[in-house]
């Protein structure tokens, strides 16, 4: 597979990524990223995210990391790896961001723990509310009247600023010509509460980041149910594979293909660097297909995370069947937990007594079908790679 070296990684305002990279002379199984952007770090933001062990029991929180993982869905994680999901509701509620404050240096300094691509995500409502007040006390706002502050906070290019200002004045009882510098602490709190109302705080669903109860408790019925749903994720995988080669593959310099970076954005909160500069994207591709088809992924960029199946989101199979997920591990095999080390993961297309055909990403530098032996050995007879797990998503 082609080994690539990144020249630059840029994130656009819409949350997508653009990557420029050049080819390296040495072939490899991974895409090379010599430089990783600050928004896509090379290590897990919470240690337990990158471990096979479950986090300690108990309620989650306080949260230290958050990211948008699907449409109207935000995943929060605490320092021990416990997490919860906010789904639906208003954007301000999902992000615990009552003022819909944009992401950036200010929000990070005000306590933000992530963003949804455009707006900051705060660990709790109190921190988000305090951020509104802190923003209004900055030099950009403090010397403005309430009316002028609203027109800056909610500009006419994006809002009906006049109506916003009138509603804020009516709900707070503070005249629009009042300078913010004259407001008292309780008046700032009142302004923040009313901004939260005007921005449209609407609660949605808070749930665990885990599959719901299975429809059946028998293994055969569970596998049958999962098999019937393979079209969900296989349609996505085949759609990606059907793209022109230029769109689904790693590009040589000076091109840039943000599609692979988008797989990572959906898949996980970080890149996984092997030896400091190599990044596999097979797991990112499989996770992308699962998540965008409405099924749970692993929230991890490595193939071994499917072997872990920490959330109970996969059902083990005795053998590969079309549409199932196949996990291949490379030597060494000494660690039974597989805490680290290389591997590969893809979707099963077909299988024989000696081979498995996978549709996957990072297969010869692209999304394609490839045939893999069930077990590979070197000249001395030592096993260098083997399939160690076949599984299906748990269908709720």
Is 279 in the same domain as 384?
A: yes
User: In 3-state terms, what secondary structure has residue 217?
Assistant: coil
Instruction: Name the residue range of residue 156's domain.
Output: 89-203
CA distance 175 to 166: 9
> Residue 396 pLDDT more than 60?
no
Boundary (domain end) residue, out of 181, 203, 225:
203
pLDDT tens digits, residue range 27-51?
Answer: 333 344 433 344 467 789 999 999 9
Q: In this structure, what is the dihedral angle of CA atoms 224, 226, 231, 236, given to the nearest 10 degrees?
A: -160
Is 277 in the same domain as 376?
A: yes
Angle at 313 between CA 16 and CA 294, to 5 degrees: 45
Is 380 in the same domain as 301?
A: yes
pLDDT tens digits, residue range 226-279?
Answer: 667 888 999 999 999 999 988 888 766 555 567 888 888 888 888 765 533 345
| Whole-structure pTM value | 0.83
Domain count, the chain: 2
The answer to whether residue 52 sits within a structural domain is no
Model pLDDT, residue 279: 56
Model pLDDT, residue 95: 98
CATH of the domain at 157: 1.10.8
Is 17 in the same domain as 152?
A: no
Question: What is the CB-side half-sphere exposure of residue 93 using CA atoms within 13 A?
Answer: 16
């Amino acid at each position: 597979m082609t080994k690539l070296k990144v020249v630059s990684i840029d994130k656009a305002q819409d949350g997508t990524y653009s990557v420029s990279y050049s080819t390296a002379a040495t072939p490899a199984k991974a895409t090379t990223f010599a430089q990783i952007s600050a928004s896509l770090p090379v290590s897990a933001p919470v240690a337990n995210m990158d471990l096979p062990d479950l986090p300690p029991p108990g309620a989650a929180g306080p949260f230290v990391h958050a990211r948008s993982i699907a449409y109207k869905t935000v995943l929060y994680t605490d320092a021990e790896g416990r997490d919860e999901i906010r789904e639906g509701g208003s954007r301000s509620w999902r992000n615990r961001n009552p003022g819909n404050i944009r992401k950036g240096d200010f929000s990070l300094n005000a306590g933000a723990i992530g963003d949804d691509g455009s707006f900051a995500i705060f660990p709790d409502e109190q921190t988000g509310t305090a951020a509104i007040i802190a923003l209004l006390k900055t030099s950009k706002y403090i010397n403005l009247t309430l009316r002028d502050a609203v027109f800056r906070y909610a500009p006419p290019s994006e809002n009906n600023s006049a109506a916003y200002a009138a509603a804020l004045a009516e709900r707070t009882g503070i005249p629009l010509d009042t300078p913010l510098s004259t407001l008292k602490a309780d008046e700032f709190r009142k302004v923040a509460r009313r901004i939260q109302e005007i921005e449209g705080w609407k609660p949605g669903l808070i749930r665990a980041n885990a599959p719901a109860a299975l429809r059946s408790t028998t293994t055969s019925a569970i596998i049958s149910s999962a098999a019937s749903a393979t079209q969900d994720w296989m349609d996505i995988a085949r759609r990606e594979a059907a793209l022109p080669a230029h769109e689904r593959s790693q590009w040589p310099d000076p091109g840039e293909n943000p599609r692979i970076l988008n797989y990572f954005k959906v898949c996980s909160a970080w890149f996984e660097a092997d030896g400091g500069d190599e990044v596999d994207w097979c797991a990112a591709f499989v996770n992308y297909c699962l998540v965008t088809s409405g099924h749970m992924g692993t929230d991890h960029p490595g193939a071994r995370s499917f072997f872990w199946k920490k959330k109970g989101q996969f059902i083990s199979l005795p053998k590969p069947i079309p549409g199932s997920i196949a996990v291949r591990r490379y030597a060494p095999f000494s660690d039974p937990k597989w805490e680290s080390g290389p591997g590969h993961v893809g979707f099963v297309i077909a299988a024989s007594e000696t081979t498995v055909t996978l549709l996957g990403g990072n297969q010869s530098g692209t999304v394609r079908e490839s045939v893999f032996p069930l077990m590979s050995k070197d000249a001395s007879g030592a096993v260098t790679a083997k399939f160690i797990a076949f599984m299906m998503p748990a269908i709720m």
